[in-house]
Amino acid sequence: MPVNAQTLQPGWLEFDPECMVTSVIKCIDATIENLEKLDIDASDIVAIGIASQRCTAIAWDKTTDRLIYPSCIMAADIRTKPMIEQLTKVKAIFYFCLLYTSPSPR
């Protein structure tokens, strides 16, 4: 189930996390419907995997369960590129490598 990305400013790429949840629910519902057509009981499912071609960042407050930022930031978003370039110059990028790993060209 596709999720439509938004580009609010040049170089930004994000999407609404509620759309992501809705998309997952629709996918699960369609899967259960298809299993029923095949006479397979949904309770026989032992694992579910969700895959993406990119990394996505979502931040929420664990005490309120509310989003800190209203959108999911996708890996192709380049708004932090100047910061990463500066960190690279001072060799601090090593500490941030897991936060900024993407197959996307910069």
Instruction: Give me the chain's average pLDDT, please.
Output: 77
Q: Is 70 exceeded by the pLDDT of residue 99?
A: no
DSSP 10-23: TT--EE-HHHHHHH
Look at 23-27, 32-36, 68-72, 91-95 and tell me which has the smallest mean pLDDT.
91-95
Question: Contact at 8 Å (CB) between 61 and 68?
Answer: yes
pLDDT of residue 5: 82
H/E segment holding residue 72: strand 72-74
Please write the tens of the pLDDT for every residue from 36-84.
Answer: 999 988 888 888 776 665 577 777 788 887 888 888 888 788 888 887 7
Helices in the chain by DSSP H: which ranges?
17-37, 81-89, 93-96
For the chain, percent of residues with pLDDT exceeding 90: 8
